[in-house]
Amino acid sequence: MKAKKINTIYETTDYTMFKALDGNRRLNIHHANRLMESITQESLCVPIIINEKYEVIDGQHRLYCWEKLSLPAYYVLVPGYRLPQVQRLNNNSKTWKISDYADSYCELGYKDYCKYKEFRKMYNLGDYESIAMLEGNIRGSGKSFANFRNGKFKIKSWNKSCKEAEKIMQFKPLYDGWKRRSFVIAMLHLINHKNFDLSRLLNKFEKFPSKVHNCVNTEEYVEMLNKLYNYKQSDKVSLLYN
């Protein structure tokens, strides 16, 4: 079968012709410096991808290195490419982190993503736990990450999420694993249980620290916390998943 030419690789040393794409992740200087060492040894003809506006879709770190080293920049032009294509390229190569998506959508004016960044800074909880809490998803779900990456993340209740985070933070001086994902999701379940009394569980943590231990998943945490909550209590309450 005869090969078909579909694009052209261009070469230039006019670095000013290229533009940054709004919403693209920030340049990682540490990564760029490592890449520069490799390019110094041998600059391969691996072109960057730009759109018709000369916005860099893929290869901003290579472009940075070429300019710093005064080496020719190679590029291919693909009209119509925008931020979704940037995210797809990076998602497939597993190089974008949740924080990259948060920065990207926040820069584009998605207010929920900006509030997410504020929430993470305030409470220092993990990405998964923070997203679940802000979405009102007390069981946690892998679908939440997909929605976050696709720009569909929505905060259900900011005030409720902050109150939940503040309650969980009260366990910080009592349990080293208070930030563990499974513990946080288990606590979200308890906090939202109609018969749960936070002060009662905190009191148990203080009085019986030997009863507290790390668990392998959320269900085990719920069982452990349920036993501790009812330990030496006449008014036992089931906090287990239904």
Q: What domains are defined for the chain?
A: 10-96 (3.90.1530), 99-230 (no CATH)
Show pLDDT as tens, one digit a residue, over the chain (242 residues).
678 888 899 999 999 999 998 888 788 887 788 788 888 888 888 899 999 999 999 899 999 999 999 999 999 999 999 988 887 887 666 567 888 889 888 988 999 999 999 999 999 999 999 999 999 988 766 678 888 888 899 999 999 999 999 999 999 999 999 999 999 999 999 999 999 999 999 999 999 999 999 999 999 999 999 999 999 999 999 999 87
Q: What is the pTM of this model?
A: 0.68
How far is the C-alpha of 76 from the C-alpha of 64, rounded, in Å?
16
Cβ atoms of 86 and 57 within 8 Å: the answer is yes
Cβ atoms of 20 and 56 within 8 Å: the answer is yes
**Quick one: tokens of 115?**
């509030």
Chain centroid, CA 156 distance in Å: 18
